[in-house]
Amino acid sequence: MAYPTSKAHHRRNWLLAALEPEDLAWLEPHLEVVILPKGTILYEAGDPIRYTYFPHDATVGLINVMEEGQFVEVASFGREGLFGLISAIVSREAFGRYKVQVPGTASRIAIDRMQEVMRARPKIQRLVLSYSEALLAQTFQTVSCNAIHTVEARCCNWLLSTRDRIDEDLLPLTHADLAELLGVQRSTVSTVLRTFQTQGLITQQRGGIIIADRAGLEEITCECYGRIRHTFARLLPMP
């Protein structure tokens, strides 16, 4: 669902906010704000990619679904970036399933128009390339994290990253959501979150998790959270 927009809407995405006015002016006539309800599947693997999305407060996961029905999240996208462009440079086919994990809004633009603007505006192209490098570094770190670090540390990482993206202590995540994101059983997530609550790090309510002690979560998360934040801060003009 799309609705009337303004520059203020689009600048809720950090990449669009970083553009100089004359560069944003090239994109703005072709951008529309869309609502992304939780659980929405934007693309399945092999689907033709029609739009590039710039999330505002929504979080979208790229999920690899295996033939036996198993799945794992390999990348996530929030207001720090974009999706639906890098994987469409040649084939224009989605790598995997793009699923809305945290509901919200995003600015979107037709993929053909986005590529035209990048060819015409070198600064936009450089910003997208910088983001592509940051995303590759994030994926590299995530693969290593999934292979080496504990479920507790990875869960902390995801809670903190989601908090950064939506600027709210109340995270609209359920145990089932986190189990899917982490690739573990729901019972495992329930045990981890119960421990966090006992330690005073979080509180839980129906349909959501409240961050009660951010500093405490940062103390027990793995190095990957800090490394990814540092990489994005180094490569991109983030607030």
- pLDDT digits (tens), the chain, 239 positions: 555 455 678 999 999 999 999 999 999 999 999 999 999 999 999 999 999 999 999 999 998 888 877 777 888 899 999 999 987 666 788 989 999 999 999 999 999 999 999 999 999 999 999 999 999 999 899 889 988 999 999 999 999 999 999 989 999 999 998 988 888 899 999 999 999 999 999 999 887 999 999 999 999 999 999 999 999 999 987 66
132 located within any domain: no
The first and second tokens of residue 48, run together, are 């033709």
- Predicted confidence at residue 181, as pLDDT, reads 83
Distance (Å, whole) CA 144 – CA 146 = 6
Strand order in the sheet with 170-171: 170-171, 208-211, 202-205
In a domain, 183, yes or no: yes
- Judge whether 144 lies within some domain: no
Could you count the other beta carbons within 10 Å of the beta carbon of residue 3?
A: 10
How far is residue 63's CA from residue 4's CA, in Å, rounded to a whole number?
Answer: 31
What is the predicted pLDDT for the residue at 1? 53
- 45 and 107 in one domain? yes
The closest of 98, 52, 96, 60 to 76, measured between CA atoms, is 60
Residues 115, 214, single domain; the answer is no
Angle at 219 (CA atoms; ends 161, 157), nearest 5 degrees: 25
Could you give the CA distance from residue 209 to residue 28 in angstroms, rounded to a whole number? 35
User: In angstroms, how far is the first alpha carbon of the chain from the final one?
Assistant: 28
Residue range of the domain that includes 211: 150-221
**Domain check: are 106 and 166 in the same one?**
no
Residues, the chain = 239
Which tokens hold the place of 238? 């983030």
89 & 13 share domain: yes
Rounded to whole angstroms, the Cα distance separating 132 from 85 reads 10
Domain match, 76 and 179 both: no
In a domain, 229, yes or no: no
Q: What is the tens place of the pLDDT at every residue in 64-111?
A: 888 877 777 888 899 999 999 987 666 788 989 999 999 999 999 999
Q: Which two tokens stand for residue 85?
A: 């462009």
Sign of CA dihedral 23, 27, 29, 35: negative
Q: Does some domain include residue 226?
A: no
Task: Report H helices in the chain.
Answer: 7-10, 14-18, 21-27, 111-120, 122-148, 151-166, 175-182, 186-198, 214-220, 223-235
Domains identified in the chain, total number: 2
